[in-house]
Amino acid sequence: MSESEKILKSESFGGCSFARMSPAERTADTHVVNLVLGFEDALKLGLAIDECVRQLNRYNRARVEGRNSALKLIIHFDKQRIRVQEGAL
pTM over 0.85: no
Geometric angle at alpha carbon 83, from 80 and 88, rounded to 5°: 140
pLDDT at 63: 93
What CA–CA distance (Å, rounded) separates 55 from 53? 5
Which among 15, 16, 84, 17 is positioned nearest to 56, based on CA atoms? 84
One digit per residue, the tens of pLDDT, for the chain of length 89 reads 555 555 555 688 999 999 999 998 888 998 999 999 999 999 999 999 999 999 999 999 899 989 999 999 999 999 999 999 999 99
